[in-house]
């Protein structure tokens, strides 16, 4: 009997050890470690780029020295970049509103599927993909098709309307990916290659030169938008949006975003978001789910000959400070109206777009050195940057996957301005219930099912106990709205 009990105990212990080993292997397997490392690499890359702005040394494309041949060969550059550029296909259902819906405020019973497409760039082997925000705007389903024709469903990690950058994730391993370059190192006249899927012509590469930098074309409607585009004459057409702009080393230097055209097709001017803006946006989206935008608290004006004459400015350089916001970062640092900002952390700025591009690389709470001219005398000022609420801490909204949205509490200033006593703001809308029912980013939820909402937790509690919700709220422009959503 004792032998029998001993054998049972022995085999039970052996089985328990085996199970423990299997659990340990599942958690710490090389595949899981690689996934975590890739995620951390995207974040660490940003921090390292702040310390060292130079990309890894890669041999550039060599051009023929034979003056008679006129040969320019980009094959090596395209071989490096092409496999990492993907086709992004989206679909959402457009509600078909009827007169009855408008009169009685009901939700439409029918909808029409709407499909669109663009491009994206794989930046990690485990499936992080950069694209333009408007490529996946309103999307309910997203499909990513690789250069080798394999396809994967994608989810939105986060997006930023102010830079028109979005980050997607597909569940895959060992994907081809592209290295970051340094957009600050680009020179006017340097060769660049645009890769994307124009007019659904997959994996198309075109070449051109850098025509200008820090170009502001006022294409984004967001009043906090950062427009400091790389302008090129590489042919870009509808479908290229979100695709790669690479240098002759095969490194990513920009994300193709827009064209300047009266007919909707390429006429010689295309624009890309610089990669030095993109890499910080990506790091923030991976780490926080949203971009940590830093603010100076200034209204600024570009200086031209007319303004210089009017303000008696001797040298046309820098950016003129037209207004300093009370209690903003610049105000607390001692900056004044009439100052001229010449440089940020030794990087010279000569336009509003250049200043915003440099500022976009920092987070709230970080301290930067600003070189100004006051009364024609240089002066250095240390400024501790603030977030959108006038504080120095990082902000982080909360997401509710069941609704397909992110939320944050509203400030007391918003409550006073909109004459409401409670509310939670929708900071982002992803594929899900909100997108399907037309709820837009910026909507402030005041009540759900006749219950006042003061926190994200209030929303979570209410949706746990019901199969349908009725939203009452207001948009930032003062327009009230109501939504009935079946869960």
pLDDT digits (tens, 9 = 90+) for 282-324: 999 999 888 999 999 999 999 988 888 888 888 888 999 999 9
Q: What is the four-CA torsion angle of 14, 16, 21, 24, rounded to 10 degrees? A: -170
In a domain, 243, yes or no: yes
Number of structural domains (the chain) is 4
In a domain, 65, yes or no: no
In a domain, 61, yes or no: no
In a domain, 125, yes or no: yes
- Domain end call among 291, 306, 339: 291
In a domain, 261, yes or no: yes
- pLDDT the model gives residue 101: 73
- Domain end call among 263, 291, 319: 291
pLDDT surpasses 70 at 235 = yes
- Tell me, what CATH number does 437's domain have? 2.30.42.10
In a domain, 242, yes or no: yes
pLDDT surpasses 80 at 371 = yes
In a domain, 374, yes or no: yes
pLDDT surpasses 50 at 56 = no
- pLDDT the model gives residue 15: 58
In a domain, 59, yes or no: no
- Tell me, what CATH number does 284's domain have? 2.40.10.120
How many CB atoms are closer than 10 A to CB 73? 12
Tokens of 238: 């509808």
pLDDT surpasses 60 at 474 = yes
Cα(83)–Cα(130) distance, integer angstroms: 14
- Domain end call among 262, 291, 320: 291
Same domain (yes/no): 8, 78: no
Same domain (yes/no): 85, 168: yes
Same domain (yes/no): 40, 91: no
Q: Domain of residue 466: give its range.
A: 398-486
Tens of pLDDT, residue by residue over 149-166, are 999 999 999 999 889 999
Tens of pLDDT, residue by residue over 409-425, are 888 878 888 999 999 99
Same domain (yes/no): 272, 248: yes
Cα(241)–Cα(133) distance, integer angstroms: 10
pTM for the whole thing? 0.79
Cα(159)–Cα(167) distance, integer angstroms: 6
Same domain (yes/no): 46, 172: no
Least confident of 5-14, 88-97, 225-234, 375-384: 5-14
- pLDDT the model gives residue 70: 47
pLDDT surpasses 60 at 60 = no
Residue 63 — pLDDT band, cuts 50, 70, 90? very low
């Amino acid at each position: 009997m004792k032998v029998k009990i001993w054998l049972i105990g022995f085999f039970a212990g052996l089985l328990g050890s085996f199970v423990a080993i299997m659990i340990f292997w599942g958690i710490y397997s090389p595949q899981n470690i690689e996934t975590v490392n890739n995620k951390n690499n995207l974040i660490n890359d940003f921090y390292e780029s702040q310390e060292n702005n130079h990309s890894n040394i890669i041999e550039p494309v060599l051009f023929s020295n034979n003056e008679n041949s006129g040969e320019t060969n980009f094959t090596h550059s395209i071989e490096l970049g092409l496999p990492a550029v993907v086709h992004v296909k989206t679909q959402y259902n457009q509600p078909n509103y009827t007169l009855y819906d408008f009169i009685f405020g009901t939700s439409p019973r029918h909808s029409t599927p709407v499909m669109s497409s663009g491009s994206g760039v794989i930046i990690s082997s485990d499936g992080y993909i950069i694209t333009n925000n408007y490529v996946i705007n309103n999307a309910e389903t997203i499909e990513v098709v690789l250069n080798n024709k394999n396809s994967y469903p994608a989810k939105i990690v986060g997006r930023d309307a102010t830079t028109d950058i979005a980050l997607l994730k597909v569940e895959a391993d060992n994907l081809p990916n592209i290295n970051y370059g340094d957009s600050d190192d680009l020179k006017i006249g340097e060769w660049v290659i645009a890769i994307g899927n124009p007019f659904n012509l997959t994996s198309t590469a075109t070449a051109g030169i850098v025509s200008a930098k820090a170009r502001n074309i006022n294409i984004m409607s967001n009043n906090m938008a950062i427009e400091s585009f790389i302008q090129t004459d590489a042919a870009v057409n509808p479908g290229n949006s979100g695709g790669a702009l690479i240098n002759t080393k095969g490194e990513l230097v920009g994300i193709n975003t827009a064209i300047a055209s009266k007919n909707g097709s390429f006429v010689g001017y295309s624009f890309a978001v610089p990669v030095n803006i993109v890499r910080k946006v990506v790091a923030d989206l991976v780490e926080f789910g949203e971009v940590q935008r830093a603010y100076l608290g200034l209204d600024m004006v570009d200086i031209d000959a007319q303004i210089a004459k009017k303000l008696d400015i001797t040298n046309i350089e820098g950016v003129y400070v037209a207004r300093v916001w009370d209690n903003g970062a610049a105000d607390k640092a001692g900056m004044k109206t009439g100052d001229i900002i010449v440089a940020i952390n030794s990087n010279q700025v000569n336009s509003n777009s250049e200043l915003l591009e440099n500022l976009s690389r920092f987070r709230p709470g970080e301290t930067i050195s600003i070189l100004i001219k006051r009364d024609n005398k240089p002066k250095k000022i240390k400024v501790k940057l603030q977030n959108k609420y006038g504080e120095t801490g990082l902000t982080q909204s909360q997401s509710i996957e069941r609704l397909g949205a992110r939320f944050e509490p509203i400030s007391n200033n918003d409550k006073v301005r909109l004459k409401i006593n409670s509310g939670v703001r929708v900071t982002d809308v992803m594929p899900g219930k909100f997108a399907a029912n037309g709820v837009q980013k910026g909507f402030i939820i005041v009540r759900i099912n006749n219950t006042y909402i003061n926190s994200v937790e209030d929303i979570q509690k209410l949706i746990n106990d019901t199969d349908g919700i009725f939203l009452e709220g207001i948009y930032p422009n003062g327009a009230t709205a109501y939504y009935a959503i079946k869960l």
